[in-house]
Amino acid sequence: MSEGNMLAGKVAVVTGAGGGIGREIALAMALAGAAVVVADIGVSLTGEGGSKTPAEQTKQIIEQRGGRAAVSTESVAEWDSAQRIVQCALDSFGRIDIVVNNAGILRDVIFHKMTPQDWLAVIAVHLNGSFFVSRAAAEHFRRQESGAYVHMTSTSGLIGNFGQANYSAAKLGIVGLSKSIALDMRRYNVRSNCIAPFAWSRMTSSIPADTPEQKARLAKLEQMTPDKNAPLAVTLASDAARDVTGQVFSVRMNEIYLFNQSRMIRSIHRSDGWTPEQIAEHALPAFRPSFMPLDRSGDSISWDPV
């Protein structure tokens, strides 16, 4: 199946498509034959302001290449406005087949200084937004007995990172949301998968570059351009992945990873039950060799992108 027809006849909603990874996914889906709703509210990295320009620019590129696109500047973070994003697909193209939940903001701050506003703003866009837009499309997917969700998660949630309690919690929550969608909607031939993207974009541009080591790391990160994530998103949205659901993938330059998911790895049993003292004396020492390290994604993925 060639790139030009992999999504022929399908209609995709891509949130956060005014720039970065979202724009590249929107462009790739259009090249693959989909009509695309470019959904972007045009706010700053931290969620302030608003502009129609980023979404219009993505739409213009798609149309210059011969594709079809419409713009929605509604917020994903409210139930009613998320409904209007999906309605834009129906009004513009008559159906909806694909939802890419990519919209996001950052409010990075060390946990003991994080404000309720920092927490709520990030949860609203990433986690609530992924639910609202997915839920808005669900009835249409159910009735037509087909549909594909692609959600953006992050190694900040899957593995860990400093100063991102809000973002990490939201991104790991998206994994749980995706798995639940996959389970609940499998009977309707609806699929749901996650991608944890590695890419240099405005979402990573705040990484410090003060020391030679930080500058060298930054140079490697800048090689991981946002477009590297688009081919996997197109494939997961297509009929070529009709049997792929409930999975978590990652793209790191030219590498594609499949992540494992949480399962029990060790057990210990006492036929007469446990006291707190027995847990401290026997259970914890037995488990300790299998404890997961307190690492960040940068610690566990130490090799250069290839």
Specify the pairing of strand 248-252 against strand 255-258: antiparallel
Q: What is the pTM for the complete model shown?
A: 0.92
For the segment 209-220, what is each residue's pLDDT rounded down to a tens digit?
Answer: 678 776 776 676
Runs of H (alpha helix) within 145-164: 155-158
pLDDT of residue 1: 33
Per annotation, catalytic residue among 149, 167, 188, 257: 167
Question: Which residues have a Cβ under 8 Å from the Cβ of 138 and sit 6 or more positions away?
Answer: 147, 181, 185, 190
pLDDT in tens, the chain (306 residues): 345 699 999 999 999 999 999 999 999 999 999 999 999 998 778 777 778 999 999 999 999 999 999 999 999 999 999 999 999 999 999 999 999 999 999 999 999 999 999 999 999 999 999 999 999 999 999 999 999 999 999 999 999 999 999 999 999 999 999 999 999 999 999 999 999 998 765 555 556 667 877 677 667 667 788 899 999 999 999 999 999 999 999 999 999 999 999 999 999 999 999 999 999 999 999 999 999 999 998 888 877 888
- Written as one letter, the residue type at 64 is Q
Whether residue 257 lies in the annotated active site: no
Closest C-alpha to 260, from 269, 250, 270: 250
For the segment 73-98, what is each residue's pLDDT rounded down to a tens digit?
Answer: 999 999 999 999 999 999 999 999 99
pLDDT of residue 206: 58
pLDDT of residue 209: 66
Domains defined for the chain, CATH in brackets: 11-258 (3.40.50.720)
Q: What is the token pair recorded at 58?
A: 């993505």
For the segment 145-163, what is each residue's pLDDT rounded down to a tens digit?
Answer: 999 999 999 999 999 999 9
Cα torsion at 266, 271, 272, 277 (round to 10°)? Answer: -30
